[in-house]
């Protein structure tokens, strides 16, 4: 499945609280979780084709409940923090999809060398690999071992095929890992900026109160 079709499928869905529509607050009251004027300033969601808007909204709702932003600057800083987290998860899923795709490519290259002129044998090898991957995908690790016969006889296993896949796509994986590292640094800075801004506002509020009491 293309990465764009399931960018966050590997991650847990939001809990029941964050499954509520983003615009609705919790409880009986219908107070908007995100004020309409704030939502307009935040702009459209940065979603790729096929990404789930409900999951994006649920995740942002969780951030809002956790950080309780107050004022447009905090809202904008929180949106940056959330979107960096969303993008980081997206890239990690792309890496997984890339390795999965490369595993098939690497396996086919092995077959080209192993099964020269023997299409029937190549098809048997493909069937054996497909059965093993299908069992692995549904968590039947104990059954995978029983399907290794033909693969193992020729020095192949799911682990070795994964290793070949990583080697086959090492340049692309390395580039994406660098992007992840950059996103993690930016997310860390965004979190610090959010807290620094909030601390500064509280300090200014205390100064204001103190000056009013002195008057």
Give dist(CA 207, CA 194) in Å, integer: 20
What residue has token string 């890339």?
98
What pLDDT was estimated at residue 16? 42
Q: How many structural domains are present in the chain?
A: 1
150 CB burial (10 A radius; 0-12, 13-18, 19+): middle
**pLDDT score recorded for residue 95:** 92
Query: Residue 67: which domain range?
Result: 3-214
3-state secondary structure 174-209: HHHHHHHHHHHHHHHHHHHHHHHHHHHHHHHHHHHH
Predicted local distance difference test score (pLDDT) of residue 26: 46
Q: What pLDDT, on the 0 to 100 scale, is given for residue 147?
A: 53
pLDDT along the chain (215 residues), means of 10: 39 41 46 86 92 95 94 94 97 90 74 69 74 64 57 68 79 94 96 92 66 61
For the entire predicted model, the pTM comes to: 0.67
């Amino acid at each position: 499945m293309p990465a764009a079709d399931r960018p966050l499928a590997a991650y847990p869905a939001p809990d029941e609280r964050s499954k509520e529509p983003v615009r609705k607050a919790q409880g009986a009251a219908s107070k908007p979780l995100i004020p309409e004027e704030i939502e307009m300033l935040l702009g459209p969601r940065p979603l790729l084709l096929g990404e789930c808007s409900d999951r994006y909204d649920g995740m942002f709702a969780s951030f809002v409940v956790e950080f309780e932003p107050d004022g447009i600057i905090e809202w904008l800083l929180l949106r940056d923090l959330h979107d960096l987290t969303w993008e980081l998860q997206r890239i990690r899923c792309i890496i997984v999809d890339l390795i999965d795709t490369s595993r098939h490519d690497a396996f086919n290259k092995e077959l080209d060398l192993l099964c020269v002129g023997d299409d029937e044998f190549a098809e048997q090898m493909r069937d054996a690999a497909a059965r093993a991957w299908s069992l692995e995908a549904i968590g039947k690790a104990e059954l995978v071992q029983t399907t290794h016969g033909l693969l193992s006889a020729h020095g192949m296993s799911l682990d070795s095929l994964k290793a070949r896949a990583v080697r086959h796509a090492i340049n692309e994986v390395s580039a994406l890992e660098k992007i992840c590292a950059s996103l993690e640094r930016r997310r860390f800075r965004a979190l610090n900026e959010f807290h620094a801004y909030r601390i500064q506002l509280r300090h200014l509020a205390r100064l204001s109160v103190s000056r009013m009491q002195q008057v």
